[in-house]
Amino acid sequence: MRSIFFKLVHKNLQSQVGTEHEKRISQDLKASALKKSEQILQELNSNLQGLTEEEVNNRLDTYGRNVVVHDKPKPWYLQLLLAFNNPFNYVLFVLALVSVLTGDYTGMTIIVAMVLLSVVIKFTQEYKSGKSAEALKAMVHTNCTVTRISATGKSENKEIHIEELVPGDIIQLAAGDIIPADVRIIHSKDLYISQSALTGESLPVEKSDVATGTDNVLDIKNLCFMGTNVDIGTATAIVLSTGANTYFGSMAKALTTSTTQQTNFDIGVNKVSWLLIKFMLIMVPVVFFISGFTKGNWLDALMFALSVAVGLTPEMLPVVVTSNLAKGAMRMSKEKVVVKKLNAIQNFGAMNVLCTDKTGTLTQDKIIVVKHLDIFMQDSAKVFELACFNSYFQSGLKNQMDIAILENEDARKCKDDAASWKSLDEIPYDFVRRRMSVVLQQTGGMPMIITKGAVDEMLACTSSVNTPSGEVPLTEELKAEIYKNVSSLNEDGLRVLAVAHRIFDKNHDNVYTVADESELVLDGFVAFLDPPKETAKLALESLKENGIKVMVLTGDNDVIAGKVCREVGLVFDKIITGNELDDLSDAEASDLIEKHQIFARLTPMQKGRIVNLLRQNGHVVGYMGDGINDAVSLRNADIGISVDTAVDIAKESADLILLEKSLMVLDRGVIEGRKTFANTMKYIKITASSNFGNVFSLLGASAMFPFLPMLPIQILILNLLYDFSQISIPWDNVDKEFLAKPRKWIATDIKRFMIIIGPSSSIFDYATFGLMYLIICPMAFGGLEYGALSTQQQLIFAGMFQTGWFIESLFTQTLVVQVLRTEKIPFFQSRPSLLVFSTAMLLLIVGVLLPYTGIGKAIGFVPLPLHYYYWLVAILFCYITLAQILKRWYIKRYNSWL
C-alpha cells in the first residue's frame, strides 16, 4: 500500500545537515525503545484509552499536522519561466537587446525566435512529462485506526486521516496498514512489517513489544517507522513522533532544505557558454576598432562588430539541444520511460557509474522456494509436501513464505492430495516459539502435527530426525551437522525454515496445544530466495561493454547481497558495510569506493554520501531506486531513475520513471543519451569552429579592403541559412564506435577544436577574397580595379565580392559538416541521415538562387558569372580534402574528435 503523502520538491541534499538531524531522531527513538510502555505513556501524557478531542487539538497546535515537509508543484507559468533559465539564452538576449538599440530589428527577430522556439519545445516536453509522472501516483487518501475518547467519555476506535495523528495517540495496526508515524509497540500478535521501502530488504521483519536489536534503529523490534507497512499480524502502538520529526521526515527535511547541485549537463552548458562569451569579448572589440580605423565610419563599424558577435554565436544551440533531448524523450517513451527532465537524457549518455539498489532491480522482488532438502542436504519431495500441507491448512493470514510455497509448481500435487486430509486443529505462530503447526488426519489414518519454523526453535522441540534409513535419535553430532548445513545455506543468501512432524494416537484429545509441539521428527528444510532477474546478468554485461561501472548500494545484509551479485556476474573481493564507511573520512571513503562496487547495510544518508563522493571524484553518476531509502541518492545523482511502482518520494526525486523496472531499459537509454550528446557536439564544435574561422576572415578582410567584406544583414542571413540546415542534426546517424563509451561536456576540448579546425576555413576564405577582388570582380568591369571605378560601380563591385564570399562561406560551412560529423571517411564509411543530407542540399540551392531574387537584390547581392562556380568547385574540393587530412591528424594527436 502506497501513500499519497510522499511528495517533495526537487532539490538536493546538504548531507551534513541531514545526517545530524537523522542521528538526533535515531537517538530519540532508541531511547524510547528501551523504556517501559508505562513510562512512554506517562511521558507523552497518554493512556491506553486514548486522547480526548481537546488534547488532540492542543497537540495539533503544538506539533502540527502529520505531514512531511513538501512544496506544491510549480505552476505552469513558473515552469515556463524556468525553461528560459539557461546561460546561453542570456547571451542571446543580450545580443538581441543590442540589436534593438542599434536599430537591427531583423537580427533581433531572428535571435528571439531561436530562443522562443527552444523554450517552447523544452517547456512542452517537460510539462507533459510532469503530468504523466503525476498520473503515476497512487491517488489514495490514507487513513489509520486510532483509539480516542469520544465526547461521551467512552474509549473507542475510529478511522481518521493520517494527517490528524498526534504524538501520544494510540493506534491499532492490522495486515495491509501503512505505518502512519514512528510508533512504539505496546503489544502485538504475529506482527511482521515490510521495511523494504526503508532498508531494501525483501522479506518482512518480525516486530514485538520487546526492545531487541538496538545497534541499528531500523532493527529495533519494538519500533515501527512511517512509510513501512504491516505484512501480517496485529498490534497496538503509541505514536512517538509525527511529520518532520519522524525517521522518514528527517530525510524529507534534508531534501527540502538543501541547495540545488548542478548536474554534469548543467556544468557543461555553463562552461561552453562562458567559453563563447570570452571569445566574443575578445573578438568583437578587435573587429570594431579595425573596421572603425580602416573605414572611418564608426557606426557602421559598430553594426559590423555586433554582426560578428552574432556570427560567432551558434544561435541555434538551444534549439538543437532541446530538439535533441525532445527526440530522445519521445524515443524513450516508446521504451516505457517517462522523462521528467529533458536534461537527464544527456546525463544518461555521460553516465559512467550506475548505482542501484538490489531488490527489484537485480532481483525479482518476489520470494520463491529454491530448495527443499532433507537434513543431509539432499532434495526431498516429502519435506516440500509437509511444508505445503502446513501452509495450505493454516487458517490465518499467510505470509510471503507461505505464498511462495503454495505458488511453487510442486504445490499442485500437494493441493490435490489435500482433499484426502482434514484439519483437526492448529497452533498459530508467535514470536516466542517462532513456529506454527497444523494438525491433520488422513481418512482412516492417525492424527499428525506438521510444524515449520525457525531452525533454532524447531531443534529445541525435536527428539529425532528422518534419514533415508528411517528415524534416528537427534544426537549432538547430528545437531552440529545440521547447523553446519543450515549455515552454508545462509551463506548463500537463503532464508531457511525447518519442517518436522509427529504422529499421535487416535484417542488424543481434539484440542492440541504448544505442549504437543514436542518430540518432533525433523524432516528437513525449505530454503527461500528473492532470485535474480533473468535479464540482469545480460544487462550488466551490456552496461560494462558500454563503459559503465555498476555499483550495488543496498540496505540488505552483506550475505544476501553477495549471493545475488555473484549470481548476476558481478565480480568483487569484498563487500563494504555502512558501519565501515562511517569510520572513514571523506578522503579515505573516496579512495575506498573507487576500489569496491558492492556496499551493504547502508542507511539512506550513507547511500547519498557514496553518490556525492563519486561525483566529487569526477564521475557522472546515475542512481536507480524505488524506496524511501533511495530518495536522498536519487536527488544527489546526476540522473535519478525510479519506477512507476515506487513510493511517491522516490518518483518525485527521480529524473526518469521506468514503467518497467529493468536494467535493459537503462542500457537502451544510455545509447539514446549518447546519440543525443553526439549530435549536440556535432553542432557545437562544427558551428563554433566554422564561425570562429569566419571571424578570422572578417578581421583580415576588414583591414585589407576598402569596403565591408559582408554586410551585417548578409552575415545574419548566412547564419540563419546555415543554422536552419542544422535543425536536422538531431536526426543524424551516429557511428557505433562513438556510442561505445561515456561522453562528457569538456569546454577545453571545444576550445581546442575551435582554435585548430576553425582557422583552416580562413585559408580558403582568403583564396576567395583574392579570386573575387583580383579576378572575378575586375573581369566584370573590363579589368578595371576597384579604385578606378565610379561610386556606383564600386557598389556593384563590393556587392559582387560580398555575394561571392557569401556563397563560398555557405558551401564550405555546409559541406564540411559532412566531413566533420564522423571520424570515418564520409559517405563511404559513415553516411549522414537522409534528412541531414537533403536539408544541406536544399540550403545550398537556396543560397545559389538567392542573388538572382528580389530579396537578394534588396540586401545587396549581385548575380555572379558562371565561371565563378568553376573556381568554387576547385576551392571546395581543396577545402574538403584539407579538412579530411586535418581531421585524421587531430584524431591521431588528441585521440578524440567530437
Provide the annotated active-site residues: 357
d(CA 353, CA 623): 9
Q: How many CB atoms lie within 10 A of CB 689?
A: 24
Read off the amino acid at residue 872: L
d(CA 741, CA 671): 9
d(CA 511, CA 583): 56
Is the Cβ–Cβ distance between 436 and 428 less than 8 Å?
yes
Cell match 574528435: residue? 897
Q: Which residues contact 117 (CB under 8 A, 6 or more apart)?
A: 318, 319
Residue 153 region by backbone torsions, left for phi larger than 0, else alpha for psi between -120 and 50, else beta: left
The CA-atom distances, in angstroms, between 75 and each of 79, 256, 529, 649 are: 6, 18, 46, 19
| Strand residues in 669-811 grouped as ranges (E) | none
DSSP code for 775: I
Is the Cβ–Cβ distance between 671 and 740 less than 8 Å?
no
d(CA 710, CA 298): 16
d(CA 786, CA 328): 53
SS3 86: coil
Query: Which grid coordinates are listed for 815?
Result: 559541406
DSSP code for 773: I
Query: Which grid coordinates are listed for 828?
Result: 563511404
Residue 103 region by backbone torsions, left for phi larger than 0, else alpha for psi between -120 and 50, else beta: left
Is the Cβ–Cβ distance between 489 and 523 less than 8 Å?
no
Of 450, 454, 459, the C-alpha closest to 391 is 450
Phi and psi (nearest 5°) for 476? -65, -35
User: Is residue 781 packed enough to be buried (19+ CB in 10 Å), middle (13-18) or exposed (0-12)?
Assistant: middle
Q: What angle do CA 163, 167, 169 make, to 5 degrees?
A: 85
Rg (CA), the chain: 36
First to last CA, the chain: 48
How many helical (H) and strand (E) elements, i.e. helices and strands, does the chain have? 33, 24
The 10 Å CB-count burial string (b at 16+, else e) for 219-236 is ebbbbbbbbbbbbbbbbb
Read off the amino acid at residue 684: I
Is the Cβ–Cβ distance between 627 and 357 less than 8 Å?
yes
Of 18, 88, 67, 101, the C-alpha closest to 603 is 18
The 10 Å CB-count burial string (b at 16+, else e) for 408-421 is beebeebeeebeeb
User: Is residue 299 packed enough to be buried (19+ CB in 10 Å), middle (13-18) or exposed (0-12)?
Assistant: exposed
Of 774, 755, 748, 768, the C-alpha closest to 696 is 755
**Proportion of the chain in helix, strand, coil states, percent, rounded to 5:** 55, 15, 30
d(CA 375, CA 473): 13
Q: What angle do CA 264, 269, 273 make, to 5 degrees?
A: 150
